[in-house]
Structure 1
């Protein structure tokens, strides 16, 4: 372990985090950073687009998926009418960007505009047959790749992993509300950044 990690673990100890948990946090972070770089590159999405011969960009694929709104990704959104603002909300992007992307997909026949069944003054987005087939192919590709990897796991490993992954996925939300010694250590860190370093 490097001296920097030793210093970091000492800070964590002052925040009430024991050595074993601190090391686990370092190990988890290392794995997540490698994973984040791979996810950021969108390796599976790019491979799917390339190998399936789809004439779309990754951002456009995201829009199609947001319109399709599979329940395992968007939960209760399934079945709702989808507007440009809905796409922007589901993807957490600027409405003007969502508008540009949806317009491009409409021109190329992946999406179409329709009249809302709830409010005739409102236009909604729907997948065309081309869009439906593209999304179905990408989802099949993704789950074939993931399934082929997971088939090497035992049922017990999967049963253990999934609830733990779901539980871990909420850590950033709980991290937004630190308490106790952690708050004090964060304040101390802030003070060190605001205090000019003296020349020796």
Structure 2
């Protein structure tokens, strides 16, 4: 019977020492995350914000502004000055693409090039006042939409949800250790793929 059958998945997780309630939660969460991922890939909220705020840039360009700003919430602690290479690293894009996008933002007046305070031979990138205003406005737009949604939650729900979401957001951090723990189960799953090809 295929593992797409819920009872077979339950059996696999049970064999691995994961109780039925947790197994059911895992399957529900996975389904929700897949739906969320599809919507997030479309970036509906960001698109709508840029359109309704009449900014005149696309999402890739907006991402560059956010990367130049270097929000610790998104990219971790800011380690000093931002260069084109920093933008490329933060956005996980090719340095030549980052350079082109940064140049576009400079030409449009959202960013500026300046000389490093630490090393005069180095060029750094910073947001102009206009660039900061765009990032602030889009962020505020998103917060209004999310705030409206969460406004109907009571304080107890919010107090429980936020720490749990923070905790959940780290679930992939231990993948290597978990992979070792279930190496036999993973090997069996790989073998089931090979067996299906022989059938």
Q: Taking structure 1 as the reference length, what is the TM-score of the superposition?
A: 0.90
The equivalent residue for 2:134 is 134
Q: RMSD of the TM alignment (CA)?
A: 2.0
The equivalent residue for 2:65 is 64
The equivalent residue for 1:85 is 85
The equivalent residue for 1:189 is 189
The structural deviation recorded for 1:128 is 1.4
1:23 has 2:35 as partner:
no
The structural deviation recorded for 1:179 is 5.3
The structural deviation recorded for 1:181 is 5.8
CA distance in 2, matches of 1:105, 1:64: 8
Q: Secondary structure at the match of 2:146?
A: helix
Unpaired runs of at least 5, structure 1: none
The structural deviation recorded for 1:71 is 3.4
Q: Deviations over 1:45-87 (max 9, x none)?
A: 0010010011111011111011112333334217x21001111
Cα 1:56–1:13 shift into 2, 3 Å? same
- When structure 1 is superposed on structure 2, of 164-173 and 87-96 the one drifting more is 87-96
Unpaired runs of at least 5, structure 2: none
The structural deviation recorded for 1:182 is 2.1
User: Which 4+ residue blocks in structure 1 deviate beyond 4 angstroms?
Assistant: 196-199
CA distance in 2, matches of 1:77, 1:163: 24
CA distance in 2, matches of 1:180, 1:36: 27
Cα 1:84–1:180 shift into 2, 3 Å? closer
Q: Deviations over 1:135-182 (max 9, x none)?
A: 121111111111122221111111111111111111112233215762
Are the equivalent residues in 2 in contact too, given 1:113–1:125 (CA < 8 A)? yes
The structural deviation recorded for 1:102 is 0.7
The structural deviation recorded for 1:90 is 1.5
Higher normalized contact order (CA 8 Å, seq sep 6+, divided by chain length): 1
Are the equivalent residues in 2 in contact too, given 1:16–1:182 (CA < 8 A)? no
Are the equivalent residues in 2 in contact too, given 1:115–1:122 (CA < 8 A)? yes
1:41 has 2:42 as partner:
yes
CA distance in 2, matches of 1:118, 1:180: 44
